[in-house]
Amino acid sequence: MDIQTEKQKLAETIRAYHLKGWSPATSTNYSFRDTEEPNVLYVSRSGIDKSQFTADDFMEVDLDGRPMPGFENLRPSAETLIHCRIYRLFPEMNCILHSHSVYSVLHSAVHTNGVSFSGYEVLKGYDGIKTHETAVKCPVFPNSQDMQAFSALLERDAEMLKIPAFIMAKHGTYAWGRDLFEAKRHLETTEYLLEVEWRLRNA
Ligand SMILES: [Zn+2]
Protein backbone atom coordinates (compact mmCIF):
# COMPACT_ATOMS: atom_id res chain seq x y z
CA MET A 1 0.00 0.00 0.00
CA ASP A 2 1.33 3.42 -0.94
CA ILE A 3 0.49 5.53 2.12
CA GLN A 4 0.83 8.88 0.36
CA THR A 5 -1.60 7.79 -2.37
CA GLU A 6 -4.07 6.53 0.24
CA LYS A 7 -3.82 9.84 2.10
CA GLN A 8 -4.52 11.74 -1.11
CA LYS A 9 -7.50 9.53 -1.98
CA LEU A 10 -9.04 9.90 1.47
CA ALA A 11 -8.36 13.68 1.51
CA GLU A 12 -10.19 13.93 -1.82
CA THR A 13 -13.15 12.02 -0.33
CA ILE A 14 -13.15 14.29 2.74
CA ARG A 15 -13.34 17.41 0.55
CA ALA A 16 -16.13 15.85 -1.55
CA TYR A 17 -18.14 14.98 1.57
CA HIS A 18 -17.73 18.55 2.82
CA LEU A 19 -19.52 19.69 -0.35
CA LYS A 20 -22.42 17.40 0.58
CA GLY A 21 -22.75 19.30 3.88
CA TRP A 22 -21.58 16.33 5.95
CA SER A 23 -18.80 18.13 7.88
CA PRO A 24 -19.76 21.65 8.97
CA ALA A 25 -17.44 23.85 11.04
CA THR A 26 -14.32 21.57 11.01
CA SER A 27 -16.38 18.64 12.39
CA THR A 28 -16.07 14.91 11.56
CA ASN A 29 -13.05 12.64 11.40
CA TYR A 30 -11.63 9.90 9.19
CA SER A 31 -8.97 7.22 9.28
CA PHE A 32 -7.36 4.33 7.45
CA ARG A 33 -4.67 1.82 8.23
CA ASP A 34 -2.02 -0.02 6.33
CA THR A 35 -2.99 -3.68 5.93
CA GLU A 36 0.68 -4.60 6.43
CA GLU A 37 0.98 -2.56 9.63
CA PRO A 38 -2.48 -2.76 11.25
CA ASN A 39 -1.39 -1.24 14.58
CA VAL A 40 -0.78 2.17 12.99
CA LEU A 41 -3.75 4.39 12.16
CA TYR A 42 -3.65 7.45 9.92
CA VAL A 43 -6.29 9.78 11.40
CA SER A 44 -7.47 13.25 10.50
CA ARG A 45 -6.06 15.95 12.75
CA SER A 46 -8.41 17.96 14.92
CA GLY A 47 -9.73 21.36 13.89
CA ILE A 48 -9.04 21.28 10.14
CA ASP A 49 -11.56 22.90 7.80
CA LYS A 50 -12.70 19.87 5.77
CA SER A 51 -13.11 21.93 2.60
CA GLN A 52 -9.32 22.48 2.71
CA PHE A 53 -8.25 19.03 3.92
CA THR A 54 -5.08 17.64 2.30
CA ALA A 55 -2.83 14.57 2.58
CA ASP A 56 -0.67 16.58 5.05
CA ASP A 57 -3.53 16.78 7.55
CA PHE A 58 -3.31 13.18 8.76
CA MET A 59 -1.32 12.06 11.79
CA GLU A 60 -0.24 8.63 12.96
CA VAL A 61 -1.56 7.07 16.17
CA ASP A 62 -1.48 3.57 17.62
CA LEU A 63 -4.49 1.32 18.26
CA ASP A 64 -4.97 3.01 21.66
CA GLY A 65 -5.13 6.45 20.04
CA ARG A 66 -1.67 7.57 21.25
CA PRO A 67 0.38 9.67 18.82
CA MET A 68 3.22 7.72 17.20
CA PRO A 69 6.82 9.00 17.54
CA GLY A 70 7.18 12.21 15.55
CA PHE A 71 3.51 13.16 16.02
CA GLU A 72 3.51 13.88 19.80
CA ASN A 73 2.95 17.60 19.24
CA LEU A 74 -0.18 17.11 17.15
CA ARG A 75 -3.69 16.58 18.43
CA PRO A 76 -5.70 13.71 16.95
CA SER A 77 -9.44 14.11 16.57
CA ALA A 78 -11.30 13.77 19.87
CA GLU A 79 -13.18 10.79 18.47
CA THR A 80 -10.05 8.80 17.59
CA LEU A 81 -10.89 6.32 20.37
CA ILE A 82 -14.08 5.38 18.50
CA HIS A 83 -11.96 4.53 15.44
CA CYS A 84 -9.64 2.44 17.63
CA ARG A 85 -12.60 0.50 19.03
CA ILE A 86 -14.10 -0.19 15.60
CA TYR A 87 -10.74 -1.48 14.30
CA ARG A 88 -10.41 -3.73 17.36
CA LEU A 89 -13.97 -5.06 16.97
CA PHE A 90 -13.54 -5.66 13.22
CA PRO A 91 -9.88 -6.52 12.53
CA GLU A 92 -10.49 -6.98 8.78
CA MET A 93 -11.66 -3.35 8.41
CA ASN A 94 -9.12 -0.73 7.35
CA CYS A 95 -11.01 2.51 6.72
CA ILE A 96 -13.53 4.48 8.82
CA LEU A 97 -15.59 7.44 7.65
CA HIS A 98 -17.81 9.77 9.68
CA SER A 99 -20.45 12.32 8.75
CA HIS A 100 -22.42 14.94 10.64
CA SER A 101 -25.24 14.73 8.13
CA VAL A 102 -28.57 16.46 8.71
CA TYR A 103 -30.56 13.25 8.10
CA SER A 104 -28.64 11.20 10.67
CA VAL A 105 -29.27 13.94 13.23
CA LEU A 106 -32.98 14.21 12.35
CA HIS A 107 -33.59 10.45 12.55
CA SER A 108 -31.69 10.03 15.80
CA ALA A 109 -33.65 12.86 17.42
CA VAL A 110 -36.88 10.96 16.74
CA HIS A 111 -35.98 7.27 16.31
CA THR A 112 -33.78 6.69 19.33
CA ASN A 113 -33.95 2.88 19.03
CA GLY A 114 -32.50 2.80 15.53
CA VAL A 115 -33.67 3.25 11.95
CA SER A 116 -34.95 0.29 9.90
CA PHE A 117 -34.65 0.08 6.13
CA SER A 118 -36.39 -2.57 4.01
CA GLY A 119 -37.05 -3.25 0.35
CA TYR A 120 -34.61 -0.71 -1.08
CA GLU A 121 -32.43 -1.55 -4.08
CA VAL A 122 -29.53 0.40 -2.57
CA LEU A 123 -29.39 -2.03 0.40
CA LYS A 124 -27.16 -4.05 -1.93
CA GLY A 125 -24.51 -1.40 -1.22
CA TYR A 126 -23.89 -3.19 2.09
CA ASP A 127 -21.37 -6.02 1.96
CA GLY A 128 -23.10 -9.42 1.74
CA ILE A 129 -26.59 -8.16 0.79
CA LYS A 130 -27.64 -9.49 -2.61
CA THR A 131 -31.30 -8.51 -2.88
CA HIS A 132 -33.60 -5.61 -2.10
CA GLU A 133 -35.89 -8.14 -0.36
CA THR A 134 -34.28 -7.70 3.01
CA ALA A 135 -34.46 -5.50 6.08
CA VAL A 136 -31.68 -4.04 8.22
CA LYS A 137 -31.53 -1.75 11.21
CA CYS A 138 -29.01 1.02 11.70
CA PRO A 139 -28.49 1.33 15.47
CA VAL A 140 -28.60 4.68 17.27
CA PHE A 141 -26.36 5.07 20.30
CA PRO A 142 -26.55 7.99 22.76
CA ASN A 143 -24.03 10.74 22.07
CA SER A 144 -21.23 11.28 24.58
CA GLN A 145 -18.23 13.53 25.13
CA ASP A 146 -16.58 10.70 27.09
CA MET A 147 -14.97 8.69 24.31
CA GLN A 148 -13.72 5.98 26.69
CA ALA A 149 -17.29 5.44 27.88
CA PHE A 150 -18.70 5.55 24.35
CA SER A 151 -16.21 3.04 22.97
CA ALA A 152 -16.93 0.73 25.93
CA LEU A 153 -20.65 0.97 25.09
CA LEU A 154 -19.86 0.17 21.47
CA GLU A 155 -18.04 -2.97 22.53
CA ARG A 156 -20.88 -3.98 24.87
CA ASP A 157 -23.51 -3.56 22.14
CA ALA A 158 -21.40 -4.80 19.23
CA GLU A 159 -23.96 -7.49 18.36
CA MET A 160 -26.29 -4.66 17.25
CA LEU A 161 -23.83 -3.80 14.46
CA LYS A 162 -25.34 -6.03 11.75
CA ILE A 163 -24.50 -3.48 9.07
CA PRO A 164 -21.15 -1.64 8.96
CA ALA A 165 -22.62 1.63 10.25
CA PHE A 166 -24.21 3.27 13.29
CA ILE A 167 -25.51 6.68 14.33
CA MET A 168 -24.47 8.70 17.37
CA ALA A 169 -27.63 10.51 18.46
CA LYS A 170 -27.94 14.15 17.32
CA HIS A 171 -24.35 13.84 16.15
CA GLY A 172 -23.72 11.81 12.99
CA THR A 173 -22.99 8.53 11.21
CA TYR A 174 -19.98 6.22 11.39
CA ALA A 175 -19.35 3.66 8.64
CA TRP A 176 -16.40 1.43 7.77
CA GLY A 177 -15.03 -1.03 5.25
CA ARG A 178 -12.08 -3.18 4.25
CA ASP A 179 -10.73 -0.24 2.24
CA LEU A 180 -11.72 3.31 1.28
CA PHE A 181 -13.82 2.09 -1.65
CA GLU A 182 -15.92 -0.17 0.56
CA ALA A 183 -16.15 2.34 3.43
CA LYS A 184 -17.43 4.97 0.98
CA ARG A 185 -20.03 2.54 -0.33
CA HIS A 186 -21.20 1.84 3.21
CA LEU A 187 -21.39 5.48 4.30
CA GLU A 188 -23.09 6.62 1.09
CA THR A 189 -25.57 3.71 1.25
CA THR A 190 -26.44 4.63 4.83
CA GLU A 191 -26.78 8.36 4.15
CA TYR A 192 -28.92 7.73 1.07
CA LEU A 193 -31.23 5.41 3.01
CA LEU A 194 -31.50 7.89 5.88
CA GLU A 195 -32.53 10.66 3.51
CA VAL A 196 -35.04 8.53 1.58
CA GLU A 197 -36.55 7.11 4.75
CA TRP A 198 -36.84 10.55 6.37
CA ARG A 199 -38.51 12.04 3.30
CA LEU A 200 -40.86 9.07 3.00
CA ARG A 201 -41.88 9.16 6.65
CA ASN A 202 -42.48 12.91 6.44
CA ALA A 203 -44.11 13.00 3.01
ZN1 LIG B 1 -18.39 13.52 15.16
Closest CA to 122 of 114, 108, 132, 112: 132
Ligand 1 centroid distance, CA of 133 (Å): 32
Q: Is 51 in a helix, a strand, or coil?
A: helix
Task: Indicate the pTM of the whole model.
Answer: 0.96
**SS3 for 105-118, per residue?**
HHHHHHCCCCEEEE
- CA 174 – CA 86 distance, rounded (Å): 10
- CA 13 – CA 51 distance, rounded (Å): 10
Ligand 1 centroid distance, CA of 130 (Å): 31
- Are 42 and 59 in contact, with CB atoms under 8 Å apart? yes
One pLDDT digit (tens) per residue for the chain, 203 residues: 899 999 999 999 999 999 999 999 988 999 999 888 999 999 999 889 999 999 999 999 999 999 999 998 888 877 999 999 999 999 999 999 999 999 999 999 999 999 999 999 999 999 999 999 999 999 999 999 999 999 999 999 999 999 999 999 999 999 999 999 999 999 999 999 999 999 999 99
Ligand 1 centroid distance, CA of 137 (Å): 21
